[in-house]
Structure 1
Amino acid sequence: MTNPTTANAELAALRVPTWAWLLASVALVTWFVISQDNGAILGAAAAELVHEVTHDARHVLGAPCH
């Protein structure tokens, strides 16, 4: 049988801090916006660079870019 104190310690070790969830959420939203950008957000030169660098990955992930 598992000791309740040990079980609580194991659960506490598995908890993810709130700041980590927020950081992950911001990163995902940022990735989504950049992956969907076709020049409207980043400007022409920066958008072209992002588009060319991530072009094949966008198609693999199913993001339309044409």
Structure 2
Amino acid sequence: MAQPAVPSTQVQQPTVPLRVPVREILPWAVFAAVLGLVLLYFIGAEQGATSVFSGTWVHEFTHDGRHLLGFPCH
């Protein structure tokens, strides 16, 4: 179908911002916060006296990330 050469002059209604209820965001925000804290623990504190896992495999796995984020490890 051919389009007219002159666009229509209909007035567009202003857009209304989308509102998302806090009840829908809160579980995901809590999940993200807990996941972030767990990752921060493993990268920053999983070594030495506060070690949850025995051995050095967690330390070696997160070694470069630890230096990248500024945590001292040796």
Q: TM-score, normalised by structure 2?
A: 0.62
**Match runs of 1:42-57 below 5 Å:** 42-45=52-55, 48-57=56-65
Tell me if structure 1 keeps the 8 A contact 2:47–2:59: yes
- Cα separation, 2, equivalents of 1:64 and 1:37: 12
Query: In the TM superposition, what is the alpha-carbon distance from 1:41 to its structure 2 partner?
Result: 3.0
> Alignment partner of 1:17: what SS?
helix
Q: 1:17 and 1:43 mapped to 2: Cα distance?
A: 33
User: Match of 1:2, as an amino acid?
Assistant: P
2:30 alignment counterpart? 22
Alpha-carbon distance in 2 for matches of 1:20, 1:58 = 26
User: Where do 1:1-66 residues align within 5 Å?
Assistant: 2-3=14-15, 7-8=16-17, 10-12=18-20, 17-35=25-43, 36-39=45-48, 40-45=50-55, 48-66=56-74
Counterpart CA distance in 1 for 2:41 and 2:65 is 15
CA RMSD of aligned residues (A): 2.4
Please list every run of 5 or more consecutive structure 2 residues that lacks an aligned counterpart in the other structure: 1-12
How many residues align? The count is 59
Based on CA coordinates, which of the two structures has the bigger radius of gyration?
A: 2
For structure 1, the residue ranges without an aligned partner over 5 or more in a row are none
Identify, as 1 or 2, the structure richer in helix.
1
How many percent identity over aligned positions?
28
Q: TM-score, normalised by structure 1?
A: 0.68
